[in-house]
Structure 1
């Protein structure tokens, strides 16, 4: 069918054999732009078939391979395809056991790629070693707009590498680092990287063991920022003072539209102080109260 533009085969257990048949179609197809193969039991062999098809394909823009089993070897096959592909803009490889080695292969390939705008590597057990290779890619890249690294193992060393790569990056709009255990030092490194940033609009830092000191650094970095619209700090440990520092920083900020501070060990009295501080900021949607009982 030469008019098909979107094909969703998610959750169909097609496996490697199914992918092999599919790639024969992709090699000759010039209309398909979106392909969803999430949750299909595809491993490295299937990724290899797909990679070969991608090398010659000139139309596919979005590829979703999330929640498969491509592993490090599969990531290496896809990386090779990305070196020669000039059309793919969105790649979702979340939950694929890629680990550090697979991330290194992808990062190296992407250094010469000028089309990818969105990359999802969530839930891949990626640590500092894998992120370090991404640094040079991010430092020089001018196309990537969205990077999802949630639920990995960046921790302090990984986010330090990431911060270096992002310091002079002028294209990234959305960065999700949810649940990476970056702590106060990681928050400080990010704050330094984004202090003069004029492109980042979304920063997800939910569940990262950030305390008062980290919140203070972030508050100072974003106080006069004119691009950040969404900041998620839920599930951290910023406490009363951290919450008040952030509230003071965003009191007169008219760019930020969403601030999530739920589950942060903030007392009721401090929550009321935060609300009072931000009462005149009519553009900001504040998430502060953890549950209905909090409001009693």
Structure 2
């Protein structure tokens, strides 16, 4: 019995997505679908979204690298409010901006089953991070969130940090390659002092210097949950690096 279907890198386009969507509407077996790198665009995303409204079995959906923009994100978000089974959604490497992030965030206010969301390598920036952070205050299901390579900067880091102060579910957070500097690191450090659930935090390839990294390291003195902290390729200095390793 076919439960996993991998159609990645096949250039099926929006027409192919329509055919897949038609099948999903009636399929009662498939649990995992990978349509990454298929150039389905916003129209294809709409077809898949329509199928999600009716599908009762799919738990994992990969739509990475599909030229999906804010409009496509809106269709997917609308489907999320109705779908009761999807737990993992990958929308990485698309062209989703702050508006698209807002649609996804709004859907997460109602979505009770999604545990993993990958929005890495999009263009949500600080405003998009704010939308996602706002929904983290209410969402009770999401445990893994990847916002890497979104240029959220210090402002975006502050929004996410504010959510971490109250968020009781999130265990894995990736904020790597986001032009976060010492100011953003300060906000994250403050959040780590209060957060009791985050176990993995990725901050590699940001613009965090020794001062910001020291704040993060100091926060680990009060944080007993974090087990993995990635500060690779940041200018943290040997002294702080040793501190982080010991704290980890």
Q: Could you state the TM-score of these two structures normalised by the residue count of structure 2?
A: 0.96
Equivalent position of 2:30 in the other structure = 60
1:240 aligns with 2:240: no
Larger radius of gyration: 1
User: Which residues in structure 2 correspond to 1:96-245 (within 5 Å)?
Assistant: 96-245=66-215
- Say whether the 8 Å CA contact 2:173–2:201 is kept in structure 1: yes
Give the SS at the match of 2:5.
Answer: strand
Equivalent position of 2:239 in the other structure = 272
Report the Cα distance in structure 1 between the residues aligned to 2:91 and 2:167, rounded to whole angstroms. Answer: 23
Give the SS at the match of 1:84.
Answer: coil
- Say whether the 8 Å CA contact 1:139–1:167 is kept in structure 2: no
Give the SS at the match of 1:35.
Answer: strand
Deviation at 1:240, TM superposition (A): 1.1
Report the Cα distance in structure 2 between the residues aligned to 1:115 and 1:186, rounded to whole angstroms. Answer: 30
1:72 aligns with 2:42: yes
Deviation at 1:277, TM superposition (A): 6.6
Compared with structure 1, are the counterparts of its residues 276 and 150 closer, same or farther at alpha carbon in structure 2 (3 Å cutoff)?
closer
Give the SS at the match of 1:203.
Answer: strand
Runs (5+) with no aligned partner, structure 2: none
- Say whether the 8 Å CA contact 2:146–2:175 is kept in structure 1: yes
Deviation at 1:276, TM superposition (A): 3.7
Compared with structure 1, are the counterparts of its residues 82 and 239 closer, same or farther at alpha carbon in structure 2 (3 Å cutoff)?
same
Q: Could you state the TM-score of these two structures normalised by the residue count of structure 1?
A: 0.81
Give the SS at the match of 2:89.
Answer: strand
1:92 aligns with 2:59: no
The alignment covers a number of residue pairs equal to: 248
- Say whether the 8 Å CA contact 1:251–1:278 is kept in structure 2: no
Q: Deviations over 1:36-72 (max 9, x none)?
A: 1111111000000000000011111000001111111
Report the Cα distance in structure 1 between the residues aligned to 2:10 and 2:226, rounded to whole angstroms. Answer: 39
1:32 aligns with 2:2: yes
Deviation at 1:193, TM superposition (A): 1.4
- Say whether the 8 Å CA contact 2:136–2:167 is kept in structure 1: no
How much is the aligned-residue C-alpha RMSD, in angstroms? Answer: 1.3
Report the Cα distance in structure 2 between the residues aligned to 1:264 and 1:224, rounded to whole angstroms. Answer: 24
Report the Cα distance in structure 2 between the residues aligned to 1:273 and 1:61, rounded to whole angstroms. Answer: 45
Q: Deviations over 1:153-212 (max 9, x none)?
A: 011111111111222111111101111000011000011112121111110111101011
Query: Which has the higher relative contact order, 1 or 2, with Cα contacts under 8 A spaced 6 or more apart?
Result: 2
Runs (5+) with no aligned partner, structure 1: 1-30, 285-296
